[in-house]
Amino acid sequence: MRLLRVGPVGAERPALLDDQDRLRDLSGITSDIDGAFLSSGGPERARAALAHGALPVLHPDGLRIGAPVARPGKVVCIGLNYRDHAEETGAAIPPRPVVFMKDPGTVVGPHDRVLIPRNSVKTDWEVELAVVIGRRARYLDSPAAALDTVAGYAVSNDVSEREFQLEYSGQWDLGKSCETFNPLGPWLVTPDQAGDPQQLGLRLSVNGVQRQDGNTKNMVFEVAHLIWYLSQYLVLEPGDVVNTGTPAGVALGLPGNPYLRSGDVVELSIDGLGTQRQTFEPA
């Protein structure tokens, strides 16, 4: 099932796409797609309502697509989780997951404009598989139990300002938490439809030039391990987002470091999870 939120910023309404790509209104089932909906059997109720023909069709014309989950309680990110990305940046393959946090306020819609921060000269892109938590994950016994806590998967652009990230502080937060720095969506795809999270192709282009072309099978730490590992140190709540790392091809690792400039257009996609497109503008 593909869940999404449509409408103006701050006034999105819950919806789903059916098997014929028709937009269906979920307002009669829930007021929003959030942690409460995901943890209380909301997706199952939506699926049952769809099967009984109880979801009205919405006309998509002119409707903005928002992030597929309401503002998460936290966004947890994993760095250097693809060997080729670590190599291109000159970093060692990490023996344990590299964990950092991103301001949840960075989450915006998949086609919303992204703002290049003031005084930025090194704004970069990162296509990533996002995992949305659907059930509380706390001290999980093993990675085998981890995927049962997942509500679904989405496309994420972990936009980064490399000077802020790597040169201004001993931690990465300054370069990761700038306004609009986490486009998410277009859909939250439930695990039954998304399939194996370790067999998904990821792609990203800038102004029509392909920059990233990877596959989640090349993660250093797989999704199940990441969720289990995080649960040993923090509690993942329903609606939380985990960005699982990016493959090679970011501006930081490319010849000439072609960082983003005003007017640049970034397009990214993951197999079965949809496509994003953003135009970058000055803040």
Residue 142's contacts (CB-CB under 8 Å, 6 or more residues apart) are 228
- Return the sign of the alpha-carbon dihedral for residues 133, 178, 164, 183: positive
Cis-peptide into 183, omega within 30 deg: no
Q: Is the pTM of this model over 0.85?
A: yes
Report the alpha-carbon distance of residue 135 to residue 240 in Å, rounded: 10
Per-residue pLDDT, 89: 82
Mean pLDDT for back-to-back runs of 10 residues, the chain (283 residues): 97 97 97 98 97 95 96 96 86 93 98 98 98 98 97 98 94 95 98 98 98 97 98 98 97 96 98 98 98
Phi, psi (degrees; rounded to nearest 5) at 192:
-65, -30
User: Encoding tokens for residue 273?
Assistant: 């999870």
Report the alpha-carbon distance of residue 184 to residue 129 in Å, rounded: 10
Residue 38's contacts (CB-CB under 8 Å, 6 or more residues apart) are 69, 132, 133, 134, 135, 151, 238, 239
CB atoms within 10 A of CB 167: 11
Per-residue pLDDT, 86: 83
- Classify residue 266 as left (phi > 0), alpha (psi -120 to 50) or beta: beta
Half-sphere exposure of 100 (CA within 13 A, CB side): 18
Counting Cβ atoms within 10 Å, is residue 82 exposed (0-12), middle (13-18) or buried (19+)? Answer: buried
Per-residue pLDDT, 84: 85
CB atoms within 10 A of CB 241: 26
Contact between residue 42 and residue 27 where contact means Cβ atoms under 8 Å apart: no
Per-residue pLDDT, 170: 84
Q: What is the 3-state secondary structure of 154-194?
A: EEEECCEEHHHHHHCCCCCHHHHCCCCCEEECCCEECHHHH
Q: Which residues are 214's β-sheet partners?
A: 202
CB atoms within 10 A of CB 229: 17
